[in-house]
Amino acid sequence: MKKRELLYEGKAKKVYAMSDPDYCMVEYKDDATAFNGLKKGTIRGKGVVNNKMSNFMFKLLADKGIETHFVEEVSDRETIVKKVSIVPLEVIIRNKAAGSLAKKLGLEEGTELKCPILEFSYKNDELGDPMVNDSQILAVGIATREEIDTISEIAYNVNKYMVEFFASVGVELIDFKLEFGKFHDKIILADEISPDTCRFWDIKTHEKLDKDRFRRDMGGVEEAYAEMMRRIGLQ
């Protein structure tokens, strides 16, 4: 299988076509954006961390029976994945209040929740990825009832396995975002799982080990990404 033309360049990744149309190649960049592209910067080495951590997590989840788009890591920054058509929803799971939820409900970050929260945002940069509910998703035709149910079930299972795994390496999984795609009509987990898309706090000190350090100009961004690599045993 050979790498072909650039299909798409996003904020953090480039996607290339492959000679076999069922696959494509993702290349992770060091570019970082926040607040819907308003804040821009570079996090040195981020592409390598996000590539390797995503692949590590996809393999861990595959062992638990969760189907993902991961196929093969071909270099530090490049991975072959199944070519899916992305369901235009960002699926957010929250275990503790942080970020936009803490702000919206006036909760202190780190406040316990009685159960995990699942939220959907409509993936649309022009609109700023607005939050949507099931009824809106169905009415507009973003996804079907069956698709929403499948995605929700997989997302809760992913949460269970990720919470368990990160706790074993001394990290609390506060919240994260998933994306799903359709591969020959089957919904599978796609995109990435990385410090760009998860909130990771040290279990004991509550030190932030994720992109919030970039969003909030806290410093120690590269160090936090490297620390997460060490925790999961990849560095």
Residues 6+ apart with CB under 8 A from 54: 70, 79, 192, 193, 194
Judged by CB under 6 A, the residue of 45, 88, 99, 116 near ligand UDP is: 99
Is 199 a binding residue for ligand UDP by CB under 6 A? The answer is yes
Q: With left for phi above 0 and alpha for psi between -120 and 50, is residue 51 left, alpha or beta? A: alpha
* One residue of 43, 92, 148, 154 binding ligand UDP per CB under 6 A: 92
d(CA 121, CA 42): 26
Cα distance between residue 165 and residue 167, in whole Å: 5
Query: Which amino acid is residue 132, in one-letter code?
Result: V
Residues touching ligand UDP, count (CB under 6 A): 14
Q: Does 197 contact ligand UDP by CB under 6 A?
A: yes
Identify which range of 58-66, 67-75, 77-85, 194-202 contacts ligand UDP by CB under 6 A.
194-202
What CA–CA distances, in Å, run from 134 to 119, 145, 178, 206? 9, 8, 17, 33
Residue ranges in 64-83 that form contacts with ligand UDP under rule CB under 6 A: none
- What's the min distance (Å) between Cβ of 177 and ligand UDP? 4
CA pair distance 8, 112, nearest whole angstrom: 39
CB of 167 to ligand UDP, least distance (A): 17
Q: Does 198 bind ligand UDP (CB under 6 A)?
A: yes
Q: Looking at beta carbons only, is 159 or 197 nearer to ligand UDP?
A: 197
Residue nearest ligand UDP, Cβ-based = 99
Residues 18-28: b if buried by 16+ CB within 10 A, e if exposed = beeeebbbbbb
In the complex, the smallest distance separating the C-beta of residue 22 from ligand UDP, rounded to whole angstroms, is 26
Q: Tell which residue, 171, 176, 207, has the closest CA to residue 99.
A: 176
Question: Quick one: which of 176, 180, 214, 225 contacts ligand UDP (CB under 6 A)?
Answer: 176
Rounded Cα gap, residues 101 and 186, in angstroms: 31
For residue 139, the minimal CB distance to ligand UDP (Å) is 23
> Applying CB under 6 A, which residues contact ligand UDP?
90, 92, 98-101, 129, 175-177, 197-199, 211
